[in-house]
Structure 1
Amino acid sequence: MSSAFRFTPLFIAFAATMPTVAHADEAAEGFVAGSSFNLHLRNAYFNRNNLNSGVRDNREWGQGFVARFESGYTPGTVGFGVDAHAMLGLKLDGGGGHAGTSILPEHTKANGELGAAPHAFSTAGAALKLKAFDTEFKAGDLFLSNPVIAGGETRMLPQTFRGVSLSNNSIAGLLLEGGQVSFTKPYNQSGHRRIDTYYGALQDNRDSQHLSWAGASWSGSEAITSNLYAAELKDIWNQYYFDFDYTYAVNDLVSLNPGLHFYHTQDTGQALLGDIDNNTFSLHFTVNAGHHSVTAAYQRVNGNTPFDYINLGDSVFLDNSRMYSDFNAPNERSWKLAYGYDFAGLGVDGLSTELSYSRGEADLTKAAQNNAYYDYYNADGKHATHWERDLDIKYVFQQGDFKDLSVLLRYASHRANQAYAAEQDNDEIRLIVDYPLNLF
């Protein structure tokens, strides 16, 4: 970036909150009266049957516990509070010969092979917070979820980040936020490390000193939602995101839902991952009819590098980010067709399912060779193709002692031709049981 303009998302987000402060409500619930304590139990089983020769199968099973305390705020114009959490992961199954699903810590032996994961791992953290009117500031260990920095939530334990954040809700339906983080606690580790990217993690000394972001999220209309975000991953990239989602109700039973997701990623500073100039977008169109839904989506990566994102995170807000593949190779084009059904239509409340098929193709011979991404792709991949089939079945208990307990069964099959060397042929089963408990 030029010296004439310095991208400071935290300052932008803070400045955006200032004009609305005079109109805010000073009422506070109190430190104790406004507090909550939740316990989240998650049992996760992953089984990946790798079909490529010389690649071993992965199978792990674990039980996770996440306790989260969130205080209210002390009375006054500026209220103070604290958020705290503790996590524990227990290994139920996962020998060295089957390690590597990413729900348990990875232990590498002296010979480079993966060994058995430890029987338990744990972590704890906290964040101090203050609130003035409708503006909230936090410093410490943060749970984040937005299109440019979203902690991984799909494994046994969640991912957290260490830094500061600022948010404002003065305008109904509009969230303004920003922040900066320097470390992350991945979902399968106890300790913190520097921020890196999914593909950059394959290289040494390619992590960043910090990530800064700012954004606006609009949900003030029943028909329209939209997000606009910008982020700087120091010495790696600037990333910008926009989405727009519209729902048109034809009648009481039928609605139409078109939408767009768009990312632009450009290298910055020392460009530790090399030259990046990537535009990635996806378009979807969903028809909801009663308890049925049908979705068609198209996704495109325009650039000679893959669409990359924060390592182990979920900041891939694209329609074709599936259970195994993200369909994000350089110059990849992909499409998806999905069908969903809510069994409340048959009198079974809480049971739902979705079946989808995705297919992508790319010319990997055009992949950039002057950066850290190139080794991940096949230089002979002129006609690289792959497909993935996904089936999700979920049941949420509606009442009784197990109210809100959910059981999710996920199955995926992925196949690729020899030109698409980045991802393997496999069949994968995941069984996830979630039990959230609101203790107070």
Structure 2
Amino acid sequence: MKVMKWSVIALAVAAGTSQMALASQQSEAKGFVEDANLDLLLRTTYFNRDYKDNRADARSLGQGFITTFESGFTQGTVGVGVDAYGILGVRLDGGRGHTYGAMFERDSNGDPERDLSQAGAAVKLQFSNTVIKYGNQFPSLPVLAYDDSRLLPESFTGTLITSNEIEGLELNAGRFTADSAMQSSSRDSLNYLDLTLKSIDVVGGTYAFTDNLSASLYYADNEDIAKKKYANVNYVMPLTADQSLAFDFNIYDNKYDKRAFGETQDTTIWSLSAKYSVGSHAFILAHQRVTGDGNYEYDIGDGGSSIWVANSYYSDFNSKDERSWQASYELDFSDYGVPGLFWKTAYVYGDNVDTGTGEGKETEFFNQVQYVVQSGPAKDLSLKLRNSIYRSNSDMRNYYSEDLNEIRAFIEYPLSIL
């Protein structure tokens, strides 16, 4: 597609006539200590996958302690700072028959670890509106995105440059050489291909043409595994004071290396969603398609959240030749006297999957409710409960996943120490 032939340079050219950023971030730096923050996030996570074929359920309960320190930048032409973190996860449930492997890795005897811990730090430099960071960090880009959907966050080791020199344009470039998965203390975690990350180079950017229109382009070269291109266009059309219509288009074009997949594969996945918002309500329709030689693969050294498409819930509806449709609804209870309470429900149907044995079909019914305490001693305490009911036909069941009901529950309490 033509959109995939664009380069990040095209974004910069398009922005060339725009106004330069008026204020320099570095000129406003107050100092290493003066702008520093030290935070502790207490997170309790419960996970339960109830498989409907009578196999043993996968479940786990853990308590996480996530401490993060972000310094300010020293004053001067070039500012210097440090970011650091320390994380600890403690298993609260029983032994081998009770543990979900994506929360606690197993020891040499096949038993889940009692606890996981890790510490990391990154040095950062800032000049004008550009930051260079080297060390352990949590990148969140469409082609390299850390996963934080269980107990402890995934992290990467490498260098990331983030530049905001032109107003409305953010450019990113980086190289990372190690990945630490959510359930592991290791810096060189194995992905599901039983491979470790050798290196991944990323480059890209996002440009806001107006307050309502933005576009993104990214490219990643995951050594000996995959080369990925990504594009996004997002447009919000205001209708009235409390009504709007938003369109979001995402596309990945990927080439997978035969050294990892047995043969060279070229796969594209795209999604288009339309969201109508009126007051506290939002109604979403989305369509998503996969074309090419195979599945859209992710979490292969590029992070467990590197799938920025519309129909990604328990299932990502990312199988070979799959077509999927979504209808969903969101409700913010603020206008009903309960600020901080939010509910989302979605139904997704997928078909046309080439399983090699027939046509695969799958459905998911998703619900999530979240409440954040707005005031008082427990201010910012967050309670989140999500449920997925997943079903598939026999061809899909053998190809992707068995039928299951999944529950994820999170209790989070952030504490600002400094």
Q: Calculate the TM-score normalised by the size of structure 2.
A: 0.90
Query: What is the aligned counterpart of 1:383 among 359, 366, 373?
Result: 359
- Answer yes or no: is 1:437 the counterpart of 2:415: yes
Checking the alignment, whether the CA contact within 8 Å between 1:145 and 1:151 is kept in structure 2 is yes
TM-superposed CA distance for 1:23, in Å, is 8.4
TM-superposed CA distance for 1:107, in Å, is 3.6
Structure 2 partner of 1:166: 161
Amino acid aligned to 1:29: K
Structure 2 partner of 1:32: 33
Amino acid aligned to 1:127: A
Q: Which moved more, 1:213-222 or 1:227-236?
A: 213-222
- Answer yes or no: is 1:320 the counterpart of 2:311: yes
TM-superposed CA distance for 1:155, in Å, is 0.9
Structure 1 partner of 2:228: 239
Structure 2 partner of 1:5: none
**Which aligned pairs between 1:99-118 and structure 2 lie closer than 5 A?**
99-107=99-107, 109=109, 114-115=110-111, 117-118=112-113
**Which aligned pairs between 1:409-424 and structure 2 lie closer than 5 A?**
409-420=385-396, 421=398, 422-424=400-402
TM-superposed CA distance for 1:290, in Å, is 1.1
**Counterparts in 2 of 1:88 and 1:363: CA distance versus 1, 3 Å:** closer
For 1:41 and 1:85, the matched residues in 2 are separated by 14
Q: Residue deviations 1:267-286, cap 9 Å, x none? A: 35956552111111001011
Structure 2 partner of 1:343: 333
Structure 2 partner of 1:375: none
Q: Which moved more, 1:298-307 or 1:168-177?
A: 168-177
TM-superposed CA distance for 1:363, in Å, is 3.7
Checking the alignment, whether the CA contact within 8 Å between 1:182 and 1:195 is kept in structure 2 is no
TM-superposed CA distance for 1:289, in Å, is 1.1
- Answer yes or no: is 1:176 the counterpart of 2:181: no
Structure 2 partner of 1:333: 323
**Counterparts in 2 of 1:108 and 1:273: CA distance versus 1, 3 Å:** farther
Structure 1 partner of 2:4: none
Question: Matched residues, percent identical?
Answer: 34
For 2:390 and 2:22, the matched residues in 1 are separated by 55
**Which aligned pairs between 1:28-427 and structure 2 lie closer than 5 A?**
28-53=29-54, 55-107=55-107, 109=109, 114-115=110-111, 117-193=112-188, 196=191, 201-202=192-193, 204=194, 206-219=195-208, 221-267=210-256, 274-311=263-300, 313-322=304-313, 324-364=314-354, 378-380=355-357, 382-420=358-396, 421=398, 422-427=400-405
Q: Residue deviations 1:255-308, cap 9 Å, x none? A: 101110000001359565521111110010111111111101000000221001
Checking the alignment, whether the CA contact within 8 Å between 1:405 and 1:433 is kept in structure 2 is yes
Q: In structure 2, the residue corresponding to 1:43 is in which secondary structure? A: strand
For 1:418 and 1:89, the matched residues in 2 are separated by 37
Q: In structure 2, the residue corresponding to 1:278 is in which secondary structure? A: strand
Q: In structure 1, the residue corresponding to 2:394 is in which secondary structure? A: coil
Structure 1 partner of 2:5: none
TM-superposed CA distance for 1:75, in Å, is 2.0
| Alpha-carbon RMSD | 2.5
Checking the alignment, whether the CA contact within 8 Å between 2:291 and 2:320 is kept in structure 1 is yes
Q: Residue deviations 1:144-184, cap 9 Å, x none? A: 11100100011111111001111111122221111010101
For 1:68 and 1:263, the matched residues in 2 are separated by 32
Q: In structure 2, the residue corresponding to 1:193 is in which secondary structure? A: coil
TM-superposed CA distance for 1:208, in Å, is 4.0
Checking the alignment, whether the CA contact within 8 Å between 1:70 and 1:82 is kept in structure 2 is yes
**Counterparts in 2 of 1:350 and 1:326: CA distance versus 1, 3 Å:** same
Q: In structure 1, the residue corresponding to 2:240 is in which secondary structure? A: coil
Amino acid aligned to 1:246: Y
Aligned residue pairs total 401
Q: Residue deviations 1:304-324, cap 9 Å, x none? A: 2100112451111010011x2
| Uncovered stretches (5+) of structure 2, i.e. residues with no partner | 1-7
Amino acid aligned to 1:56: A
Checking the alignment, whether the CA contact within 8 Å between 2:47 and 2:100 is kept in structure 1 is no
**Counterparts in 2 of 1:25 and 1:415: CA distance versus 1, 3 Å:** closer
For 1:309 and 1:41, the matched residues in 2 are separated by 29
For 1:210 and 1:37, the matched residues in 2 are separated by 31
**Counterparts in 2 of 1:273 and 1:166: CA distance versus 1, 3 Å:** farther
